[in-house]
Amino acid sequence: MKFDTIERLSLSYLGKLWKENDCFLEFESLTWEDMEGGLFDIGSVNPDDPKSVSTGMKTSSEILTGRFIKGKGISEGKVVDITKENFGKLPAGVVMKALAFLSQSLATESDKLSETSSEQKAQ
């Protein structure tokens, strides 16, 4: 069974054209099976071990492309579709932001509440 849940990451932070054209990436939400399948292993990557880094990058790529649905971006000043085939051509920062975006959805409600509370106290 697969649940119909979609998470949309806005790419408007990449600049005026990206914002004006409502550029985005859409993913299926991460599941418990994704966590069991290696999502949490990414956080335990040893940066001093090339094999560990390579494994972490491969796992990240598999999770993102496996959950990727569609997107819209700017290439050479024109609006283009972002597909699984050209997903790897996105800037590394965008891909890392997408992974963080999907991972943050796994935070527990109490984590989200404490983050909100911390932000409110700082204001």
State which of 7-11, 40-44, 98-102 shows the largest mean pLDDT.
Answer: 7-11
List pLDDT tens digits, range 60-113.
788 888 899 999 999 999 999 999 999 989 999 999 899 888 877 555 444 444
**Read out DSSP for 38-107?**
IIHHHTT--TT-HHHHHHHHHHHHHHHHHHEEEEEEEETTEEEEE-TTTGGGS-HHHHHHHHHHHHHTTS
Residues 6+ apart with CB under 8 A from 116: none
Domain limits, the chain: 6-122
What predicted TM-score, i.e. pTM, was given to this entire model? 0.72
